[in-house]
Chain A
Amino acid sequence: MGSRRLLALGIGVVLCAAVLTSVLVHAAKRRSVRAGQRAHGALVDATGMTDLALSSSARWLRHPSLSEPGAATADLPSSLDVDPAGALIGPPTEILRSGAPAPADGVQR
């Protein structure tokens, strides 16, 4: 009676450990497979573009690092690729400010 419960606990512990280990081992394996895939690096070398093709139909999301630096939180009316993500929190101003002409004293902040 007593040992049955502790046996069940032991099985539970082993199962949990097995799940965790499988996840971590599989993840590591996939990472090493990915590391061996040279197609990625070659593509980036060939094209010079590093952005992911996450959502081509949202243009700013296709090349978020290039199109509009503040676009990650943009909410332009009549924009084709609306993602109303700027409602609660604005983007860091350095992103909005990026590339703006330097102020008169010539210091880029």
Chain B
Amino acid sequence: MRRQLALIHFALGGLQRRASKSVALVLGLTLVVGLFGSTLLLTDALRREYELLADRMPDLTVQRLVAGRPSLIPEATALMIDDIPTVRDVEARVWGYYFFTAIESNVTILGTERDGESLDVAVEDGRLPRAGNEVAIGNGLADLLGLRVGDEMGIPLGTEVVFSEVVGVFGDDSSIRSADLIVARPAHARVLLGMAEGWATDLAIDLTTQDEAAVVAEHIAERMEGARVLDRRLLRRTYELTFDTRGGLMALLLVPALAAFLLLAWERLSGLGDAEQREIGVLKAVGWATSDVLLARIWESVVIATLGAVSGLGLAYVYVFFLGAPGLSDALLGWSNLRPAMQLAPAIDPLQAFSLLGAVIVPFVAVSVVPAWRAAMIDPDRAMRGGR
């Protein structure tokens, strides 16, 4: 222990003597870890947010394919499926996209019959629609159009304008899901979507037990023409793909930065100047063992790596969860005008934090060990003469 402390003390002196190089390495590492860490933190937080409620997806979703692409499904199909064993509930869902010219963005229009005071908590201002042309809208949309509870929203449909009464505005809380939503009763949603009575977008099916999903899917395929049955486990994988792909793309873009940094680090660590080589020769000649020299250099790297990694992580955290990751979220999430308020809950836990730190510190120290070992193995006589 005393020996380690003495070596650390010497290592700190070494860092001090090579101050500019040490600072450069720490800053570089902070930047690289900050970049990678931001991507990781953001995608993990999004993934977690999705996971929290993913269980409430319907067990099966049924779409009707026409010409290989999803088309509308007759509501009556629900009756065909209702009596399959283990099917607990079938709901014909009405939802779709609408391109809002005024804001140059797509919005999601959703029809639902579910209501009740307990659900009104979903809305920050007002309540959910209960009848007629009432709608609840996301606050992203409300802000862009300047709408508040009690206002009327006009949506151009062909040559006409359809008016809806705004009875509720979703808050920042739920904005990650509601920013671009227009929620209405099914009848009014159909009007807004241009969907005729008796049709639905898809069917949401709840089963008594998920294990029967494959069997039920077969039954449905038999009874319904052009049915595409999506198991919810499959849909979750699609979701993961989305995050992994995007996150992976970002990471891929950052790889050159990481490579450049590692190269730089290697070059600085292994291109021991005359001074450093002589220093090692001196140490060996005054009675330092190779392991002592090596340990001192390893401690130097540990200090640099730890400082860089921890500040990188802190930087990334502040950037994502205090500043909302400007720039990165654009790259990761795309170019929508209706951006949800990024009030994400971080997914990072102690295990993850230490894994991230370990993933940075260990390779960095390892990269520095090789040149240090080569230098420490040097014949002290040769080292003293400057390696000549």
Q: Footprint of B on A, CB under 8 Å?
A: 2, 5-6, 8-9, 12, 16, 19-20, 22-24, 26-27, 30-31, 33-34, 37-59, 61-73, 83, 85, 91-92, 94-95, 98-102, 106, 108
Contacts and interface: CB of A to CB of B under 8 A. Distances in A.
B58 A48 contact: yes
Contact of A56 (B108, B121, B175, B214): B108
B336 A99 contact: no
Nearest to A109: B214
A29 to B, nearest CB: 9
Interface string B59-75: 00101010000100000
Nearest to B61: A66
A37 B107 CA distance: 24
B6 to A, nearest CB: 9
Interface stretch (B77-85, B179-187, B290-298, B369-377): B179-187
Q: For the side of the interface on B, what is the size category?
A: 35 or more
Contacts of A95: 234, 237-238, 241
B31 interface: no
A57 B335 contact: yes
Given A23-B317, A61-B242, A46 B345 contact: no
A62 B306 CA distance: 39
A22 B77 CA distance: 54
Contacts of A24: 348-350, 353
A43 B93 contact: no
Interface stretch (B110-118, B151-159, B268-276, B378-386): B110-118
Most A-side CB within 10 Å, residue of B52, B118, B179: B52
B229 A56 contact: no
B321 A46 contact: no
A43 B349 CA distance: 27
Contacts of A8: 12
A48 B55 CA distance: 11
B297 to A, nearest CB: 16
B210 to A, nearest CB: 15
A82 B57 CA distance: 26
B118 A56 contact: no
Nearest to B97: A59
B302 to A, nearest CB: 11
